[in-house]
Amino acid sequence: MAEEKTTILDGVGVKRALTRIAHEILERNKGIADLVLVGIRTGGVHLARELSARLEEIEGGRVPVGEVDITLYRDDVKGHAPHLPVGKTDIPFSVEKMKVVLVDDVLFTGRTIRAAMDAIMDHGRPDCIQLAVLIDRGHRELPIRADFVGRNVPTSRKENIVVMFDADNRPTEVVLEK
Partner 1 sequence: MGFKHKDIIGLQDLTREEIQLLLDTAENMKEISDRDIKKVPTLRGKTVVNVFYEASTRTRTSFEIAAKRLSADTINISASTSSTTKGETLSDTALNILAMKPDIIVMRHAASGAHHYLAQRVSCSVINAGDGAHEHPSQGLLDMLTMRQKFGTIEGLKVAIVGDITHSRVARSAIFGLTKMGAAVCLAGPPTMMPPGIERLGNVTVCTDMRDAIEGADVVMMLRIQLERQGKTLLPTLREYARYYGLNPGNLPLAKKDAMVMHPGPINRGVELSSYVADGDQSYILKQVENGVAVRMSMLYHVSGGELPTE
Closer CB to partner 1, residue 94 or residue 172?
A: 94
Shortest distance, position 1 Cβ to partner 1, whole Å: 20
* CA atoms of 26 and 44, how far apart (whole Å): 19
Judged by the rule CB under 8 A, the positions of this chain that interact with partner 1 are: 69, 71-74, 77, 80-90, 118-119, 121-124
- Among 24, 9, 5, which Cα is nearest to 106's? 9
Shortest distance, position 41 Cβ to partner 1, whole Å: 10
- Enumerate the β-bridge partners of residue 130: 101
b/e map 103-142, b = 16+ CB within 10 Å: bbbbbbebbbbbbbbebbeebeebeebbbbbbbbbeebee
Shortest distance, position 56 Cβ to partner 1, whole Å: 26
CA end-to-end span of the chain: 10
Closer CB to partner 1, residue 60 or residue 85?
A: 85
Closer CB to partner 1, residue 33 or residue 142?
A: 142
Closer CB to partner 1, residue 52 or residue 89?
A: 89
Q: Are 135 and 118 in contact (CB under 8 A)?
A: no
Shortest distance, position 85 Cβ to partner 1, whole Å: 6
